[in-house]
């Protein structure tokens, strides 16, 4: 009898712990900006609704992804964007201070034989800001799926941090660990099905390769200027060379 009671208590404890973990996981997801409600992802900041996410696999083929995967990508992007905004603000303030200092005191003497370079310390990928690439389409109720078609000819371009001067860009591009794309353009139509009774348009969230490092100026082997850098280049799909990223529907 004692063994039966012990077994029952163990089962109850296991069920209780499982429900607690599940509730904690659900609460964690629901406390973030993007949450799943039914068959759509809701942006709790804007109340916009998204769905039908598609991406490219390793072979460059279009595949449909789950709402859970795309929700996690959106929440991770939101977190990264906040950190990036703070970093860019700090760099701008530092740059303004340097400009004010130069304007006030001037340069000590003209610099000759200055060597310029970029040293990358790390690289990663980043999901850029999305934009719509089709017109709105309303699919009549009671019929079959409609098809939304994207426009063509749009591009995704390189981006540099607010502290990067135009004369540094070539040194940065030459010093990165990946193949740098200045601009990547969509040349073919992209289609996504739209369910009957819904209205929507296609949005695209581009993927970029990001480099972190330092722009350096040296004279006689001595570093006389050192600036931390963040810059990004649009990623392209293998085989096709077109913009890589997420295609999805924004519902009206």
> Is residue 26 pLDDT above 60, yes or no?
no
pLDDT for 90 equals: 78
Least trusted range by pLDDT, from 7-16, 20-29, 42-51, 112-121: 20-29
pLDDT for 87 equals: 79
pLDDT for 221 equals: 86
pLDDT digits (tens, 9 = 90+) for 176-205: 999 999 999 999 999 999 999 999 999 999
Question: Mean pLDDT across the stretch 30-56?
Answer: 93
Give the Cα separation of 207 and 89 in Å (integer).
23
Question: Mean pLDDT across the stretch 69-92?
Answer: 88
pLDDT digits (tens, 9 = 90+) for 138-149: 999 999 999 999
Split at pLDDT 50, 70, 90, the class of 98 is low
pLDDT digits (tens, 9 = 90+) for 117-171: 999 999 999 999 999 999 999 999 999 999 999 999 999 999 999 999 999 999 9
Judging by beta carbons within 10 Å of its beta carbon (0-12, 13-18, 19+), is residue 3 exposed, middle or buried?
exposed
Domain ranges of the chain: 34-251
pLDDT for 113 equals: 80
Split at pLDDT 50, 70, 90, the class of 241 is very high
> Is residue 35 pLDDT above 90, yes or no?
yes
Q: Which residues of 132-147 are buried (b: 16+ CB within 10 A; e: fewer)?
A: ebbeebebeeeeeebe
Per the prediction, the chain carries an average pLDDT of 86
Task: Specify whether the CB–CB gap between 119 and 214 falls below 8 A.
Answer: yes
Spatial CB neighbours of 70, under 8 Å, sequence gap ≥ 6 = 41, 50, 53, 246, 248
CA 96 to chain centre: 28
Predicted TM-score (pTM) of this structure: 0.78
């Amino acid at each position: 009898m004692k063994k039966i009671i012990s077994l029952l208590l163990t089962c109850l404890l296991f069920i209780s712990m499982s429900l607690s973990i599940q509730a904690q996981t659900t609460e964690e997801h629901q406390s973030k900006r993007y949450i799943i409600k039914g068959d759509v992802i809701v942006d709790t900041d804007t109340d916009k609704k998204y769905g039908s996410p598609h991406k490219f696999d390793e072979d460059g083929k279009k595949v449909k992804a789950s709402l859970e995967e795309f929700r996690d990508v959106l929440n991770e992007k939101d977190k990264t964007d906040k950190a990036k905004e703070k970093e860019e603000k700090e760099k701008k303030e530092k740059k303004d201070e340097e400009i004010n200092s130069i304007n006030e005191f001037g340069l000590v003497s003209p610099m000759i034989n200055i060597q310029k370079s970029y040293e990358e310390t790390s690289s990663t990928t980043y999901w850029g800001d999305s934009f719509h690439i089709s017109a709105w389409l309303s699919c009549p109720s009671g019929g079959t799926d409609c098809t939304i078609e994207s426009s063509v000819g749009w591009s995704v371009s390189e981006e540099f941090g607010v502290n990067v001067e135009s004369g540094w860009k070539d040194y940065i591009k030459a010093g990165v660990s990946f193949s740098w794309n200045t601009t990547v353009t969509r040349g073919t139509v992209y289609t996504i099905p739209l369910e009957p009774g819904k209205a929507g348009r296609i949005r695209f969230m581009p993927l970029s390769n990001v480099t972190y490092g330092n722009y350096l100026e040296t004279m006689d082997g001595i570093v006389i200027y050192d600036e931390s850098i963040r810059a990004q280049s649009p990623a392209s799909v293998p085989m096709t060379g077109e913009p890589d990223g997420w295609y999805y529907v924004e519902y009206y």
